[in-house]
């Protein structure tokens, strides 16, 4: 992938992740607890997230830090930022692992409905922070 396209691809993936979770949220507002549909949507979200995290963690962040170091930049704050993004990643992955089956969602539907908005908000925070922060560094180096 061309380096100039990486940020565009990551932003596009962010929009898809947001769309995936919006679909899940719309099902949780219904009273019939469509746990199996929710599970299938979460599986799609997990696949989309896995692809995104690979590009972000294994390509973008690695290349960004490399470019910054080559230009003599101090990367300490950027590395701390990346670690805080990893904490958010762990939180989202824990949620996905907790609700990784339709019957888990069905049996804990009230908890799921409580946890989902928190995860959505956490993910949106990460997306906004990355897009306003480290993604903008890419063109500088």
Q: What is the pLDDT of residues 23-65, one digit of tens each?
A: 999 999 876 678 999 999 999 999 999 999 999 999 999 999 9
Q: What is the pLDDT of residue 32?
A: 63
CA-nearest of 130, 87, 96 to 116 is 96
Euclidean distance between the first and the last CA atom of the chain, given in angstroms as a whole number: 17
Q: What is the pLDDT of residue 139?
A: 77
The first and second tokens of residue 108, run together, are 């804990």
Q: What is the pLDDT of residue 104?
A: 95
Q: What is the pLDDT of residue 140?
A: 79
Write the Ramachandran bin of 16: left for phi over 0, alpha for psi from -120 to 50, otherwise beta: alpha
């Amino acid at each position: 992938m061309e380096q100039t396209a990486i940020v565009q691809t990551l932003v596009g993936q962010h929009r898809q992740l947001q769309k995936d979770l919006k679909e899940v949220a719309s099902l949780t507002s219904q009273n019939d607890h469509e746990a199996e549909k929710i599970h299938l949507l979460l599986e799609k979200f997990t696949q989309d997230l896995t692809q995104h995290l690979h590009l972000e963690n294994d390509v973008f962040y690695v290349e960004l830090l490399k470019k910054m170091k080559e230009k003599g930049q101090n990367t300490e704050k950027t590395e701390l930022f990346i670690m805080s993004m990893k904490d958010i990643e762990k939180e989202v992955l824990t949620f996905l692992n907790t609700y990784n089956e339709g019957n888990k969602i069905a049996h804990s539907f009230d908890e799921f409905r409580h946890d989902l908005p928190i995860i959505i908000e956490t993910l949106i925070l990460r997306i906004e922070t990355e897009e306003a922060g480290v993604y903008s560094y890419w063109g500088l180096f």
